[in-house]
């Protein structure tokens, strides 16, 4: 991919003498020889380098030159703010003098110097866009579109904005023949080829995350705050807490965004009149939290929470434990499933719980069925209608007004490709290795309608993700967490609330455990309210820590 002069000015800005002087206070000057590598593909916690004299060449994984840095220019991208592995090599093209800045110092600069923070973050974001467009550092994924594990890996990469190239073995007979020639069976796929050219056969998400640096756990650390869940509420808490100096770790089971991350476009969120995709909103918040020093580690499933020696111990499904002084539960809710025996058979193979570009790629020119009457279903219908020949929107009730915003209803009603089926439910799924047919039934007349579709999208209300807290705190009859004044008196008594004053508004009946977003009983299921609760909870965490803190 060629870089024109205008693009180069954005991707490789030249620092002023004053800016370099400021940076030199946080770094060290080194002399390097021609051919010396400063960064190698696959390294973690790599430094950034400012060229003072000479030049540095940036090479991709195949050692092809991407760019050359001249005096005043600097290396680095978004990955320098986390433990992600390097996707490029940096090598001196001549004897050079460079300024080396380590990751902790880089974070301090971004947090404390507005001028340099703006330049660095703008440049890093532009470079990430360039990397995505030119496929620099992309992993290679080889797998069948009919394989659930292939779909799971694609979803994982997409949510975490990991560049990857997918070779669909159903469409590429050559690759399939090559794998067969080397004795790679169907059970060995999908295959992932990493930056270091390592081949993983049918890997788990944990294996890939650890290899590319998405996992960042240290068993000895005690954090001021553990945030469980990286949806809008959890990310907001992460940004505000880390920006205010707290030592924060945030975990999630698959990647940033939560349910909002599956929304193709959110148009009623304050400050975005043209709308923003849930994925972009989540990724921006993800970067913002890392900018302030928040440790974000993925993927981890919370298994249990307990209090020992005046500290919270969060046990993960892997058996590892994270310790902290306070916890914000932000694991949200998941869409309900249809009560059909063969539903699981088609999950990832025609049945989906989100509508992103990844799912839309498989839909081009075909019909699809969407079930649900909330905003998520409405946004999906509008988005997918642009990709498909027809969308069947199915709801059990008589109209959409009960749970969908008016602007979405108006668009759906007037959209030529969307057909609304009221008083209707899904009764049967049919197919082989992929969904092929969906049978609908009117719940008033019993009339049957058959849709020959291979894509079904489900947005069916919410079930709280509170399994890891079931024995820890007080839940309402539907399993959502009671907080503040909503906690019943017998709940405070059962869980032995120790103080004479009541819990704070977002605090549970366990001191120091807070619940925000969709997981909280009585919450408004909107992105804006989740962000508000996440940020508000941080002030309540401060109030708790001022009275009780682990040393």
Whether the pLDDT of residue 151 is over 60: the answer is yes
The two three-digit tokens of residue 22, written as one number: 């400021």
Which CATH code of 2.130.10.10, 3.40.50.10310, 1.10.1660.10, 2.60.120.10 fits the domain covering 5-134?
2.60.120.10
Lowest mean pLDDT among 195-204, 381-390, 445-454: 195-204
Report residue 25 as tokens: 């206070």
Task: Answer whether residue 321 shows pLDDT above 70.
Answer: yes
The pLDDT confidence band at residue 197, using thresholds 50, 70 and 90, is confident
Contacts of range 196-200, beta carbons closer than 8 Å, 24 or more positions apart: 196/41, 196/42, 197/61
pLDDT score recorded for residue 3: 64
Identify the DSSP state of 13.
P
Tell me the chain's radius of gyration from C-alpha atoms. 25
pTM more than 0.95: no
Name the CATH topology of 343-458.
FAD/NAD(P)-binding domain (3.50.50)
How confident is the model over 515-529, as a mean pLDDT? Answer: 94
d(CA 369, CA 478) in angstroms, rounded, equals 28
Both tokens of 418, joined, read 């969307």
Q: What single string gives the DSSP state of each residue in 275-307?
A: -B-HHHHHHHHHHHHHHTT-EEE-S--EEEEEE
Q: What's residue 359's pLDDT?
A: 83
Is the preceding omega at residue 491 within 30 degrees of 0, hence cis?
no
Quick: pLDDT tens for 77-129: 999 988 899 999 999 999 999 999 999 999 999 988 999 999 999 999 898 88
Can you tell me the distance from the alpha carbon of 155 to that of 7, in angstroms, rounded to the nearest whole number?
A: 30
Lowest mean pLDDT among 219-223, 309-313, 349-353, 431-435: 219-223
Long-range contacts of 265-270 (CB under 8 A, 24+ apart): 265/379, 265/382, 265/383, 266/379, 266/527, 267/407, 268/405, 268/407, 268/526, 268/528, 269/527, 269/528, 270/528
The DSSP code sequence of 64-132 is -EEEEE-TT-B---GGGGSSPPPSSEEEESSSEEEEEE-HHHHHHHHHH-HHHHHHHHHHHHHHHHHHH
- One CATH from 3.30.560.10, 2.40.40.20, 3.40.30.10, 1.10.8.60 for 139-208: 3.40.30.10
Token reading at 507 = 């605090």
| Partners of 98 in the β-ladder | 30, 51
Chain mean pLDDT for the chain: 92
- Find the Cα–Cα–Cα–Cα dihedral 290, 294, 295, 298, rounded to 10°: -70
- Burial label, 212 (beta-carbon count in 10 A; 0-12, 13-18, 19+): buried
SS3 content of the chain, % helix, strand, coil (to 5): 30, 25, 40
Exposure b/e, 354-390, CB count within 10 A at least 16 = b? bbbebbbebbeeebbbbbbbbbbbbbbbbbbbebbee
Res 260: pLDDT: 85
Per-residue pLDDT, 362: 78
Q: Do domains 222-333+464-547 and 343-458 have the same CATH topology?
A: yes
Query: Under a CB-based contact definition with an 8 Å cutoff, are residues 412 and 421 in contact?
Result: no
Percent of the chain with pLDDT over 70: 98
SS3 assignment, position 177:
helix
**Residue 216 CB-half CA count within 13 A:** 20
pLDDT digits (tens, 9 = 90+) for 33-91: 999 999 999 998 889 999 999 999 999 888 899 899 999 999 999 999 888 999 999 99
CA–CA gap between residue 434 and residue 192 (Å, rounded): 23
Do 194 and 41 meet the contact criterion of CB atoms below 8 Å apart? no
- pLDDT score recorded for residue 551: 34
Which of the pair, 146 or 527, is modelled with greater confidence? 527
Sheet holding 89-92, edge to edge: 37-39, 89-92, 56-59, 65-69
Q: Average pLDDT of 197-211?
A: 93
What is the number of other CB atoms lying within 10 angstroms of the CB of residue 452? 10
Distance CA 81, CA 45 (A): 8
Between CA 526 and CA 269 the distance in angstroms is 9
- Among 78, 81, 89, 73, residue whose Cα is nearest residue 45: 81
Judged against a pLDDT cut of 90, whether residue 25 lies above it is answered with: yes
Task: Please work out, in degrees rounded to the nearest 5, the angle formed at the alpha carbon of residue 487 by the alpha carbons of 481 and 492.
Answer: 110
CA-to-CA separations, 409 to 44, 188, 374, 382, in angstroms, rounded:
48, 46, 10, 10
Q: What does the pLDDT read at residue 92? A: 97
Look-up of token digits 């668009």: 411
What's the whole-number mean pLDDT along residues 165-179? 82
pLDDT band of 499, cuts 50, 70, 90:
very high
pLDDT at 237: 98
Contact predicate 503/486, CB 8 Å = no
Domain 222-333+464-547 adopts which CATH fold?
Answer: FAD/NAD(P)-binding domain (3.50.50)
Cα end-to-end span (Å), the chain: 52
Q: Which two tokens stand for residue 112?
A: 């404390």
Q: 548 pLDDT exceeds 70? A: no
CA distance 117 to 537: 27
Per-residue confidence (pLDDT) for residue 5, from 0 to 100: 64
| CA–centroid distance for 333 within its chain | 15
User: Where do runs of H (alpha helix) occur along 135-223?
Assistant: 148-159, 173-181, 205-212
Helix (H, G, I), strand (E, B) or coil at 342: coil
According to the model, what pLDDT value does residue 6 have? Answer: 61
Q: For residue range 399-457, what is the model confidence (pLDDT) as tens digits?
A: 999 889 999 999 999 999 999 999 999 999 999 989 999 999 999 999 999 999 999 99
Roughly what angle, to the nearest 10 degrees, separates helices 278-291 and 148-159?
60
Per-residue pLDDT tens over the stretch 326-373: 999 999 998 899 999 999 999 988 999 988 888 888 788 899 999 999
Contact 332, 231 (CB under 8 A): yes
The pLDDT value recorded for residue 136 is 82
pLDDT tens per residue, range 465-483: 999 998 899 999 999 999 9
The structural domains of the chain, with segments of one domain joined by +, span 5-134, 139-208, 222-333+464-547, 343-458
**Confidence check: pLDDT of 26 > 50:** yes
Write out the E strands in 298-339: 302-308, 311-316, 321-329, 333-334
Q: Could you write out the DSSP letters of every residue in 343-371?
A: HHHHBTTTEES---HHHHHTTTT-EEEEE
């Amino acid at each position: 991919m060629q870089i024109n002069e205008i693009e180069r000015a954005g991707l490789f800005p030249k620092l002023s003498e004053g800016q370099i002087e400021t940076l030199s206070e946080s770094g060290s000057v080194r002399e390097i020889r021609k051919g010396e590598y400063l960064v190698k593909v696959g390294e973690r916690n790599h430094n950034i380098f400012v060229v003072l004299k000479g030049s540095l060449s940036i090479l991709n994984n195949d050692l092809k030159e991407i760019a050359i840095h001249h005096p005043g220019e600097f290396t680095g991208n978004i990955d320098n703010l986390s433990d992600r592995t390097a996707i490029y090599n940096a090598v001196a093209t001549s004897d050079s003098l460079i300024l080396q800045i380590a990751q902790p110092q880089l974070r301090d600069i971004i947090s404390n110097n507005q001028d340099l923070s703006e330049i660095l973050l703008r440049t890093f974001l532009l470079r990430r866009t360039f990397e995505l467009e030119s496929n620099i550092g992309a992993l290679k994924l080889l797998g069948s579109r009919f394989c659930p594990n292939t779909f799971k890996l694609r979803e994982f990469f997409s949510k975490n904005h990991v560049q990857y190239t997918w070779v669909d073995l159903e469409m590429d007979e050559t690759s399939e023949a090559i794998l067969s020639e080397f004795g790679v069976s169907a059970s060995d796929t999908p295959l992932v080829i990493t930056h270091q050219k390592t081949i993983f056969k049918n890997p788990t998400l944990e294996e890939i995350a650890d290899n590319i640096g998405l996992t960042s756990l240290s068993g000895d650390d005690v954090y001021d705050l553990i945030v469980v869940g990286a949806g809008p509420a959890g990310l907001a808490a992460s940004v505000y807490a880390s920006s205010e100096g707290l030592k924060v770790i945030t975990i999630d089971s698959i990647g940033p965004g939560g349910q909002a991350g599956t929304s193709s476009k959110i148009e009623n969120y304050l400050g975005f009149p043209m709308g923003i995709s849930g994925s972009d909103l989540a990724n921006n918040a993800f970067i913002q939290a890392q900018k302030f020093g928040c440790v974000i580690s993925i993927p981890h499933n919370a298994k249990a929470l307990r209090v020992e020696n005046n500290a919270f111990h969060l046990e993960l499904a892997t058996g590892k434990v994270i310790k902290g002084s306070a916890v914000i539960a932000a694991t949200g809710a998941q869409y309900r499933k249809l009560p059909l025996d063969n539903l699981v058979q088609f999950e990832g193979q025609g049945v989906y719980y989100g509508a992103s570009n990844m799912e839309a790629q498989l839909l081009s020119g075909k019909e699809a069925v969407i079930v649900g009457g909330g905003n998520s279903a409405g946004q999906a219908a509008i988005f997918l209608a642009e990709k498909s020949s027809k969308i069947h929107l199915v709801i059990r009730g008589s109209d959409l007004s009960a749970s969908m915003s008016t602007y979405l209803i108006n668009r759906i009603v007037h959209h030529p490709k969307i057909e609304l089926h009221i008083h209707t439910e899904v009764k049967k799924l049919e197919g082989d290795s992929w969904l092929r047919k969906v049978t609908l039934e009117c719940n008033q007349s019993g009339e049957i309608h058959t849709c020959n579709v291979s894509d079904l999208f489900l947005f069916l209300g919410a079930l709280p993700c509170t399994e890891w807290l079931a024995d820890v705190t007080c839940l309402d009859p539907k399993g959502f967490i009671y907080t503040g004044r909503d906690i019943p008196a017998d709940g405070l008594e059962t869980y032995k609330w120790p103080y004479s004053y009541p819990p704070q508004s977002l605090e549970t009946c366990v001191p120091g455990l807070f619940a925000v977003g969709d997981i909280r009983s009585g919450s408004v299921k909107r992105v804006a309210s989740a962000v508000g609760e996440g940020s508000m909870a941080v002030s309540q965490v401060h109030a708790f820590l001022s009275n009780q803190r682990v040393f």
